[in-house]
Amino acid sequence: MSFRPEHEMHTRRKGRNIGVGLVLGALIAIIFGLTYVKITSQGFQTPASATEAQG
């Protein structure tokens, strides 16, 4: 079974689909980057250790 486009809609919407794909890719990169920055920052505590510190 091939994944060959079956409809002219695929070519008509190619630009839009590529754009949405790039936006989703960028979103993944941003969430990953933010997570990395947050957990490597000096003040970072895991929820468990933060609770222990309070108790």
Partner 1 sequence: MTDASINSTSTAHEAQFGDYFALLKPRVMTLVVFTAFVGLLAAPVAVHPFVGFCAILFIAVGGGASGALNMWYDADIDAVMKRTARRPIPAGKIAPQEALAIGVALSGFSVVLLGLATNWVAAGLLAFTIFFYAVVYTMWLKRWTPQNIVIGGAAGAFPPMIGWAAATGGIAVESVLMFCLTFMWTPPHFWALALFMRSDYDKAEVPMLTVTHGRPATRAHILAYTVLLAVLALALAFTDVGGPVYLAVALVLNALFLKGAFAIWRRDETAAEADNYLAERRFFKLSLLYLFAHFGAILVEAGLDRFGLGLSLGGLT
State the amino acid at position 40 in one-letter form: T
Size (the chain), residues: 55
Residues 9-48 that bind partner 1 (CB under 8 A): 9, 12-13, 15-16, 18-20, 30, 33-34, 37, 41
Question: Which residues contact residue 38 at a Cβ distance below 8 angstroms, ignoring those fewer than 6 apart?
Answer: 44
Whole-angstrom Cα distance, residue 19 to residue 39? 30
Instruction: Select the residue interacting with partner 1 from 2, 3, 4, 8 (CB under 8 A).
Output: 8
State in angstroms the smallest separation of the CB of 7 from partner 1.
Answer: 5
Chain positions contacting partner 1, by CB under 8 A:
6-9, 12-13, 15-16, 18-20, 30, 33-34, 37, 41
